[in-house]
Chain A
């Protein structure tokens, strides 16, 4: 390497430094503080970082049955939500991909749920699903079904939350998958028709391989957001009834701002971060392989 290019490299770093500095300030510093906090006995009542307790927070979190419960509630919530949103979204995207007219109009309609704030979505559905005053119970009354306590029964509440989340987020899947489908060229399908592939084989041998990177990135994004679901729970169930819908983000919020135990909340956040990384790492690897 000659002197000029060495100088250029340094100049390049200098130019990139503001961006790197901002990244460090807004991402690395808070994460580091969280990790440090998780090793201390740090509450909102006693806010001195003077009692280093090592892994005590982690042990108490892991041994806490409520945390374990919310961990499994979150896992099943994420699996159901992402799976159904993906299957439903893909199906709708494939059907819409055949519709070439009014594309702008249905794109707009699809965008509407995504434009609504999750808190508002929660409020709307809480009203719809109100056992006595809600329109849902009113409408199913015509079918002869007696009123359902949508958010009051532990099992039903869990399903209800999943349903509302699907209603809110499925458009996201549809729009991304639709964009992916629209970008597949027409010729491979024509070649396959001449080679004798029926619609199903065309889907398996052309659509799916072409869609693989889009599918992975869509799943990845939805997975990360689903693990972090908070607003809906806060508005609709507050984790209840009992602990049936106590998602991990909501549990962390409660331990930080209701139990005021920030050290423990920080250790849970770190655990959550690790869990998310473990889930998405293989997907990332798979995606990079797909790009080759």
Chain B
């Protein structure tokens, strides 16, 4: 991956009437990376993507691709490929015509067109579908055709707007792998919008997490998972939940006591704070003490969810009543209502400011 910025958003804004959809965002996307815009619905991620494509007018700011300001260009002149959530195939054209429509409009020669169609249909394994209409295709096949349509033009970047969310779970996993492979093979920049954190975690070179039109954090999947910079990111990048709790702090000399967990933490950042958010991921709890440095916590079991590959157990901290989730990958004979000790490493505790909700 080339770390030169390839597509750049400068102070990009979008307002619909009075509503702010995208709020002054700055973003650099590198060449050939798989960049994922992640966030809950209505966070502005799709609007951002559509502004890059030129489907949405820009209220203010700039979109720069390959050092050229393309903010005012027509979608067709930006040479970006766009894949829609519901495929947006032309229903009355067969697959061949769907794929070659943009070439036909550019008056590409017949031989060239056939060559491109051949290349795309081999790449996406849709050769046997070329004469069918979109209505005769399954969801997965339609998505392949939609990808094929975007491929033939040799675009500078691929913009994908939740392309997998209309597919069933099994197919989604397959298409995920194919998209990763495709991106590697083509060595092109992909900008991928999704609300599904698993898609983001599995596919992205970098993830950009958005909420309410603002960028909260940009980083590799590992970074955003292990070092979320805010309560929102910590809560959002979690499958299926993360523990976000509050605790009072008692200060003694240089050590600080998190009352809720009843442990001492020697972190500078806790000085002058009396109340913080903290988070420990459910998978960082153990039912046995693995080493002598582990802290323990007494909890009462509320509920046990069997996820097949592991168990998600919800419990309450004794004398505190805050809910805490933990995961066990083996079946343990736990009984609802039982009080047990669970163990964790104090290094796994992340702390957030109580007001700004930012990591400290």
> In this assembly, does A197 line the interface, its C-beta being within 8 Å of a C-beta of chain B?
yes
- A195 near B88: Cβ-Cβ < 8 Å: no
Q: Chain A contacts of B86 at CB under 8 A?
A: 185, 187
- B105 near A196: Cβ-Cβ < 8 Å: yes
Q: Chain A contacts of B149 at CB under 8 A?
A: 191, 195
Would you give the 0/1 interface string for A166-204, flagging 1 where the beta carbon is closer than 8 Å to chain B? Answer: 000000000000000000010110111111110001000
> In this assembly, does A205 line the interface, its C-beta being within 8 Å of a C-beta of chain B?
yes
- Taken together as a complex, chains A and B put the C-alpha atoms of A108 and B53 apart, in Å, by 38
Q: Chain B contacts of A271 at CB under 8 A?
A: none
- A197 near B105: Cβ-Cβ < 8 Å: yes
- A190 near B92: Cβ-Cβ < 8 Å: no
- A187 near B88: Cβ-Cβ < 8 Å: yes
- Taken together as a complex, chains A and B put the C-alpha atoms of A210 and B134 apart, in Å, by 14
- A195 near B91: Cβ-Cβ < 8 Å: no
- B101 near A205: Cβ-Cβ < 8 Å: yes
- A194 near B90: Cβ-Cβ < 8 Å: no
- Taken together as a complex, chains A and B put the C-alpha atoms of A206 and B101 apart, in Å, by 12
- Taken together as a complex, chains A and B put the C-alpha atoms of A192 and B53 apart, in Å, by 12
> In this assembly, does B84 line the interface, its C-beta being within 8 Å of a C-beta of chain A?
yes
- A195 near B101: Cβ-Cβ < 8 Å: yes
- A187 near B106: Cβ-Cβ < 8 Å: no
- Taken together as a complex, chains A and B put the C-alpha atoms of A197 and B102 apart, in Å, by 8
Report the minimal beta-carbon distance from A269 to chain B, rounded to whole angstroms. Answer: 40
Q: Chain A contacts of B227 at CB under 8 A?
A: none
Which stretch of B20-28, B74-82, B164-172, B319-327 is in the interface?
A: B74-82
Q: Which of B93, B102, B153 has the most CB of A within 10 A?
A: B102
Q: How many residues of B contact A (CB 8 A)?
A: 24
- The residue on B at minimum CB distance from A206 is B90
- B106 near A196: Cβ-Cβ < 8 Å: yes
> In this assembly, does A209 line the interface, its C-beta being within 8 Å of a C-beta of chain B?
yes
Q: Chain A contacts of B89 at CB under 8 A?
A: 188, 191
- The residue on B at minimum CB distance from A193 is B75
Report B200-244 residues with CB < 8 Å from chain A CB: none
- B76 near A193: Cβ-Cβ < 8 Å: yes
- Taken together as a complex, chains A and B put the C-alpha atoms of A195 and B75 apart, in Å, by 8
Q: Chain B contacts of A197 at CB under 8 A?
A: 76, 101, 105
- The residue on B at minimum CB distance from A189 is B88
Q: Chain B contacts of A187 at CB under 8 A?
A: 84, 86-88
- A190 near B76: Cβ-Cβ < 8 Å: no
Q: Chain A contacts of B76 at CB under 8 A?
A: 193-197
Total A-B residue pairs with C-beta atoms closer than 8 Å? 60
- Taken together as a complex, chains A and B put the C-alpha atoms of A195 and B104 apart, in Å, by 10
- Given contacts A191-B90, A205-B90, is CB(A196)–CB(B84) below 8 Å? no
Q: Chain B contacts of A192 at CB under 8 A?
A: 90, 101
- Taken together as a complex, chains A and B put the C-alpha atoms of A190 and B54 apart, in Å, by 10
Place the interface of chain A in its size category.
10 to 19
- Given contacts A187-B84, A201-B105, A205-B101, is CB(A193)–CB(B91) below 8 Å? no
- A188 near B90: Cβ-Cβ < 8 Å: yes
Q: Which of A187, A190, A194, A209 has the most CB of B within 10 A?
A: A194
- B88 near A191: Cβ-Cβ < 8 Å: yes
- A209 near B55: Cβ-Cβ < 8 Å: no
Report the minimal beta-carbon distance from A98 to chain B, rounded to whole angstroms. Answer: 16
- Taken together as a complex, chains A and B put the C-alpha atoms of A205 and B149 apart, in Å, by 16
- Given contacts A201-B105, A205-B101, is CB(A194)–CB(B82) below 8 Å? yes
- A190 near B84: Cβ-Cβ < 8 Å: yes
- A191 near B92: Cβ-Cβ < 8 Å: no
- A191 near B105: Cβ-Cβ < 8 Å: no
- Taken together as a complex, chains A and B put the C-alpha atoms of A251 and B80 apart, in Å, by 64
Report the minimal beta-carbon distance from B143 to chain A, rounded to whole angstroms. Answer: 13
- Taken together as a complex, chains A and B put the C-alpha atoms of A191 and B90 apart, in Å, by 9
- Given contacts A195-B101, A195-B149, A196-B76, is CB(A190)–CB(B88) below 8 Å? yes
- B105 near A193: Cβ-Cβ < 8 Å: no
- Taken together as a complex, chains A and B put the C-alpha atoms of A196 and B75 apart, in Å, by 7
- B53 near A194: Cβ-Cβ < 8 Å: yes
- Taken together as a complex, chains A and B put the C-alpha atoms of A193 and B76 apart, in Å, by 6
- B106 near A188: Cβ-Cβ < 8 Å: no
Report the minimal beta-carbon distance from A55 to chain B, rounded to whole angstroms. Answer: 46
- A194 near B101: Cβ-Cβ < 8 Å: no
- Given contacts A193-B76, A194-B80, A195-B149, is CB(A188)–CB(B88) below 8 Å? yes
- Taken together as a complex, chains A and B put the C-alpha atoms of A205 and B91 apart, in Å, by 10
- B75 near A194: Cβ-Cβ < 8 Å: yes
- Taken together as a complex, chains A and B put the C-alpha atoms of A191 and B75 apart, in Å, by 10
Q: Chain A contacts of B75 at CB under 8 A?
A: 190, 193-194
- A209 near B92: Cβ-Cβ < 8 Å: yes
- The residue on A at minimum CB distance from B133 is A292
- A196 near B102: Cβ-Cβ < 8 Å: yes
- The residue on B at minimum CB distance from A290 is B92
Q: Chain B contacts of A196 at CB under 8 A?
A: 76, 102, 105-106
Q: Chain B contacts of A206 at CB under 8 A?
A: 90
Report the minimal beta-carbon distance from A24 to chain B, rounded to whole angstroms. Answer: 38
- B105 near A194: Cβ-Cβ < 8 Å: no
Q: Which of A187, A190, A196, A210 has the most CB of B within 10 A?
A: A196
Q: Which residues of A contact B (CB under 8 A)?
A: 185, 187-188, 190-197, 201, 205-206, 209-210
**Which 3 A-B pairs have CB atoms at the shortest separation, nearest pair first?**
A187-B88, A196-B76, A195-B102
Question: What 5 new A-B contacts, CB under 8 Å, besides A192-B101, A205-B93?
Answer: A190-B88, A191-B90, A194-B76, A194-B102, A196-B102
Q: Can you name 6 A-B residue pairings with CB atoms under 8 Å?
A: A185-B86, A187-B88, A190-B82, A205-B90, A205-B101, A209-B91
